[in-house]
Structures are given as structure tokens and as C-alpha cells.
Amino acid sequence: MPENSIIWKSPVCEAYEENVSEDERWHVSRKQSGTEKPEIYLSNYDLLLTPVGIGCSIEECFEKFIKACDRYTERLTKIRDAAQTELDALRENEILK
């Protein structure tokens, strides 16, 4: 065998797939190595940034942070409800079975 040959330890086939919703908010990635169970990761890009507070005083920072938390909570509730609706539809159409 030539000195510069690559010798593979074990042949592992790894598959990776990513799906994105039309509005680009929902992302699902699926990774599977060999015969292992797949790892599926679901995320919503609207939730990537957490609340922050920026201002000229600590008081202003806290006030803005609290308002940002309220908006984030509303957004989180809306997205959770959308996810529940999607899950219910999948179950109703027996796609998950």
C-alpha cells in the first residue's frame, strides 16, 4: 500500500437534511449517522434574539428590558400556538403515525 494512502477507520454514512418554511421562520434539520436514530432539530428564527435593555442609565436599561420581555412573551405565545396548530394538523392527518 502506498505511504500516502488514506486508511479509513470505519465506513460511516452520515446524512444531513435541512428544511426551511417559505417565510424562512421555521427551520428543521435532520442528521443521521449510519444506523443510529436520526437527530431532528426544530427552531423558529423569530426567537433567536432574547430581550435586551439598552439606555443611558441602569433605570432606562431595566425599563426597556421589561418592555422587551413583554414583546418577547407575546411573540413566544404566538409561535407556540402556531407550533401546536401544526402538530395537531400532523396528528389529525396521521402523518406522524
Same domain membership, residue 53 and residue 26: no
| 6 in a structural domain | no
Q: Are 55 and 41 found together in one domain?
A: no
Question: Which tens digit of pLDDT belongs to each residue from 54-89?
Answer: 999 999 999 999 999 999 999 999 999 999 999 999
61 and 92 share one domain: yes
Q: Are residues 89 and 57 in the same domain?
A: yes
Rounded to 5°, the CA angle 47-51-57 comes to 165
Residue pair 23/16 in contact by the 8 Å Cβ criterion: no
Q: Is the pLDDT of residue 1 over 70?
A: no
- Looking at the DSSP bridge assignments, the partners of residue 40 are 30
Q: Is the pLDDT of residue 97 over 60?
A: no
Same domain, 31 and 66: no
As a whole number of angstroms, the distance between CA 79 and CA 88 comes to 14
Domain enclosing residue 18, as ranges = 12-45
